[in-house]
Amino acid sequence: MNRTLRWLSRNPIWGFILLIFVFFSLANPFFFDLQNFENILVQTSTIGLIALGMTLVMINGNIDLSVGGIVALSASLVVDIQGWEIFAGWGDWQLVPAVAAALLAGVALGALNGLIVWWTGVDAFIVTLGAMLGIRGIVFVYTKEQSFYATNFAFSDFGSSNIGPLPTLAVVFLVCALLVHWLLSQTVHGRNTYAVGGNRQAAVNAGIRIGPHMMVNFIILGFLAALAGMTLASQMGASTPTLGQDYELWVITAVVLGGTKLTGGAGNIVGTLGGVLAIGILRNGMNLMQVPAFYVLVILGVILIAVLFLDRQLNRKGQEGYRL
Amino acid sequence: MAEERLKSATRILTQRGILIAFILFMVGFSVVSDRFMTADNLQAVFRQAAIIGVMALGVTLVVICGNLDLSVGSLLSLSTVLVVDLHDKIGPISAIAVTLLVALAVGAVNGLLVGVARLNSLIVTLGMLSAIQGLTLIYTGGQNVDIQNQDTTWFAIFGRGAILGVPTQILIFVVLAVVMHVVLAHTPFGRRVYASGGNPTAAVFSGIRRGRVVLATYMTSAFCTGIAAIILGSRVMGSQNNVGQGYELLVLSAVILGGTSLLGGSGSIAKTVIGVLILGFIQNGLLLLGFAYYVQWLVTWVVIILAVWLDIAAKRGRMFSPFA
């Protein structure tokens, strides 16, 4: 019992999830339903995929504001390229070059961000702030401000298909979550991620090549953001150039709710899963209760600050008190 | 001797890099486009830059004090909606007063959470960004607002009028910039802002009540955004409920471009004014050359990273980062 309480005090987000879960289950007859849980998982998967990568980058002590642009670029690429005439005779194989191009774009842009952070030593916040504008520019140049519509039905069907009892997109998300969790908790790269974020100088002294290391995490994030863009495009059967706007804010909110520190060195995938679920359940539950979407924004903002405040109250050691 | 001269030349180039880039931009654009260096066009650039400029003045203070303010975009939406909506209901003077008071209240909340509760400024203002956007949508019920008698109200003076031949919005920007420069560079308060940002612990030990300084910087920032909202509302005579979306990062780009460090403790109003003008001239020049509006985002990406890179390279005395 004591251990549970201590765990909850370090991960207040799961307490919050329990609270809203019970609340919505009692308040709305349609919430506690297997079908609805699957909906929540699918709705969460897009933000969730990006949040997995963002967790790595933030544990590193970096941040990435450019993920929204990568989402839009990969969605536009995958939807546009599958309709190219040179692939017209390929049948469903036309998806292969489309998917490859989208993933490659994500990886390349992640690598570019990482490379700039590595070589110039400019703070990741600034590097990716610039990239946020620039990548959105690339999307607009590429699409000429047009929306694209998917021509391949297999692509649109993928977004609403099932693997066994579970929606495919939820499975994709859960598998990625497991993989990233394994990477972070069981591998040398994962240990180095904490080391670099916790004390950069010490990590250098311990022989970690932190430049390439940080770049790998940016690449993983770019890959996952591109994947998220594709899942979004397949759900809609289309892409728009403004897709993914504000996603960086949602994702950072989810990761911080999950207990990852902005200063780096602390955080984990289980927490991030909690942060993503909290947002998903809140949006879904309030939707079911027909509360306008505006209120979710307010509640989310307040919760974000409240979790930060709670975290400071519960875990403060040797910090100065309140004084105006 | 020659070597020393070369060294000092490099130093000037890197330290004053942004100013030189600015001048090069101006010269380049005026050579390529004969419409660029005309009084009409320059006035147009200044008028467009006024809103981002006024907001950037306040954010500069927050950044010098070592914090971030991401809530200004949403606050611009809220304030513009308020001043436009209340204009017809309670008259222009009361509308302006209420708007500025609300803005100050928002700034006070930011300031108390960051200054007194010592929470991370990025997350606090990210939460406020979300919450204020939600409040704006709740206030308007998702509708856009506008002013009925647009031709008869004196409220038009701020965005459409001119005093002694100078457009009022430019006048407001210039006056505010001068006042803020004097406050920051020549008053004890200004010194406290630099001290709190440069070395918070030392500032507290030398008797500075850091909480109050932080509170004041956030309230100034919010006040400036309120003023920007009045200009915007008066210029458009109406408002969408998400008009300020994305402004927080544009404003921050301008501040960073000018050379104010995100680490706090250094920077100036003059630098920010240059940053704002560079953004304005890039946008204007590219449009005059016939590029689509989104090409400016690509150029801004490159310019931001180059500007900050040169700045950092000059400080550490070598081009590439020491990361292995």
Return the residue in A252, A260, A304 with the most chain B beta carbons within 10 A, the one to mutate for interface testing. A304
Mean pLDDT in chain A? 89
Range in A274-278, B1-5, B53-57, B170-174 the model is least confident about:
B1-5
Considering the domain boundaries, does residue B15 fall inside one?
Answer: no
Are B128 and A301 in contact (CB < 8 Å)? Answer: yes
Q: Is B102 part of the contact surface with chain A (CB cutoff 8 Å)?
A: no
Instruction: Name which residue leads in pLDDT, A57 or A86.
Output: A57
Mean pLDDT in chain B? 88
- What are the residue ranges of helices labelled H in B141-167? 157-160
Q: What is the pLDDT of residue A33?
A: 87
- In this prediction, residue A104 has a pLDDT band, given cuts at 50, 70 and 90, of very high
The amino acid that residue B21 corresponds to is: A
At A239, which helix (H) or strand (E)?
strand A238-239
Contacts of A137 (CB under 8 A, 6+ apart): B294, B295, B296, B297, B298, B301
Residue with tokens 């890039």: B282
Q: At what angle are helices A293-315 and B121-140 packed, to 10 degrees?
A: 150
Considering the domain boundaries, does residue B14 fall inside one?
Answer: no
What end-to-end distance do the CA atoms of chain B give, in Å? 34
Q: Where are the beta strands (DSSP E) in chain B?
A: 145-146, 162-163, 166-167, 238-239
Considering the domain boundaries, does residue B69 fall inside one?
Answer: yes
Q: Averaged over A187-207, what is the pLDDT?
A: 92
Do A195 and A31 form a contact (C-beta atoms < 8 A)?
Answer: no
Q: Is the pLDDT of residue B244 over 90?
A: no
A82: helix, strand or coil: coil
Contacting residues of A for B129, CB less than 8 Å apart: 249, 301
Q: Averaged over B181-207, what is the pLDDT?
A: 92
Q: Is B316 part of the contact surface with chain A (CB cutoff 8 Å)?
A: yes
Q: What is the pTM of this model?
A: 0.88
CA distance B299 to chain A (A): 7
Window 49-68 of B: residues touching A by CB (8 A cutoff) are none
Q: Give the closest of B297, B304, B313 to A137, CB-based.
A: B297
Are A295 and B301 in contact (CB < 8 Å)? Answer: no
Are A292 and B245 in contact (CB < 8 Å)? Answer: no
Contacting residues of A for B127, CB less than 8 Å apart: 253, 300-305, 308
Q: Tell me the C-alpha to C-alpha distance, in Å, between residue A5 and each of A18, A313, B62.
A: 14, 15, 38
Q: Report the 10 Å Cβ neighbour count for A302.
A: 15
Q: What is the pLDDT of residue A316?
A: 62
Q: Averaged over A201-229, what is the pLDDT?
A: 94
Q: How many domains does chain B have?
A: 1
Considering the domain boundaries, does residue B175 fall inside one?
Answer: yes
B87: helix, strand or coil: helix
Q: Give the closest of A211, A262, A301 to B130, CB-based.
A: A301
pLDDT, tens only, B208-240 = 898 999 999 999 999 999 999 999 999 988 888
Do A216 and A157 form a contact (C-beta atoms < 8 A)?
Answer: no
pLDDT, tens only, A270-280 = 999 999 999 99
Contacting residues of A for B212, CB less than 8 Å apart: 324
Q: Tell me the C-alpha to C-alpha distance, in Å, between residue A146 and each of A142, A243, B261.
A: 9, 12, 38
CA distance A318 to chain B (A): 13
Considering the domain boundaries, does residue B27 fall inside one?
Answer: no
Structure-token pair, residue B44: 């147009």
Instruction: Name which residue leads in pLDDT, B263 or A49.
Output: A49
CA distance A88 to chain B (A): 31
Domains of chain A: 35-311 (1.10.3470)
Range in A28-42, A180-194, B46-60 the model is least confident about:
A28-42
Considering the domain boundaries, does residue B103 fall inside one?
Answer: yes
What whole-number distance in Å separates Cα of residue A275 and Cα of residue A282? 11
Residue of B nearest to A126 (CA): B305
Are A137 and B115 in contact (CB < 8 Å)? Answer: no
Q: Tell me the C-alpha to C-alpha distance, in Å, between residue A73 and each of A7, A70, A102, A256, B243.
A: 40, 5, 7, 26, 24
What whole-number distance in Å separates Cα of residue A259 and Cα of residue B223? 33
Return the residue in A117, A118, A122 with the most chain B beta carbons within 10 A, the one to mutate for interface testing. A122
Contacting residues of A for B262, CB less than 8 Å apart: 123, 125-126
Q: Give the closest of A135, A303, A308 to B119, CB-based.
A: A308
Residue with tokens 């989402």: A71
Q: Report the 10 Å Cβ neighbour count for B143.
A: 12
Q: Tell me the C-alpha to C-alpha distance, in Å, between residue B311 and each of A102, B253, B305.
A: 35, 15, 10
Are B297 and A123 in contact (CB < 8 Å)? Answer: no
Are B323 and A210 in contact (CB < 8 Å)? Answer: yes
Considering the domain boundaries, does residue B26 fall inside one?
Answer: no
Q: At what angle are helices B92-111 and B121-140 packed, to 10 degrees?
A: 150
Q: How many A×B Cβ pairs under 8 Å?
A: 173
CA distance B92 to chain A (A): 28
Range in A129-133, B173-177, B315-319 the model is least confident about:
B315-319
CA distance A92 to chain B (A): 34
Range in A61-70, B266-275, B278-287 the model is least confident about:
B278-287
Are A132 and B304 in contact (CB < 8 Å)? Answer: no
Return the residue in B282, B301, B306, B318 with the most chain A beta carbons within 10 A, the one to mutate for interface testing. B301
Residue of A nearest to B306 (CA): A120
Are A253 and B127 in contact (CB < 8 Å)? Answer: yes
Are B131 and A136 in contact (CB < 8 Å)? Answer: no
Kindly state the percentage of chain B with pLDDT values over 90.
43
What whole-number distance in Å separates Cα of residue A256 and Cα of residue A275? 7
Considering the domain boundaries, does residue B319 fall inside one?
Answer: no
Cα–Cα nearest to A260, from A304, A228, A322: A304
Residue of A nearest to B133 (CA): A297
Contacting residues of B for A256, CB less than 8 Å apart: 123
CA distance B283 to chain A (A): 13
Structure-token pair, residue A276: 């993503």
What whole-number distance in Å separates Cα of residue B211 and Cα of residue B149? 44
Print the domain residue range for B261: 43-311
What ipTM does this complex have?
0.85
Do B303 and B257 form a contact (C-beta atoms < 8 A)?
Answer: yes
Query: Can you give the length of chain A in residues?
Result: 324
Do B66 and B196 form a contact (C-beta atoms < 8 A)?
Answer: yes
Q: What is the pLDDT of residue B310?
A: 82
Q: Give the closest of A118, A145, A308 to B321, CB-based.
A: A118
Q: Residue B310 phi/psi, 5° resolution?
A: -60, -40
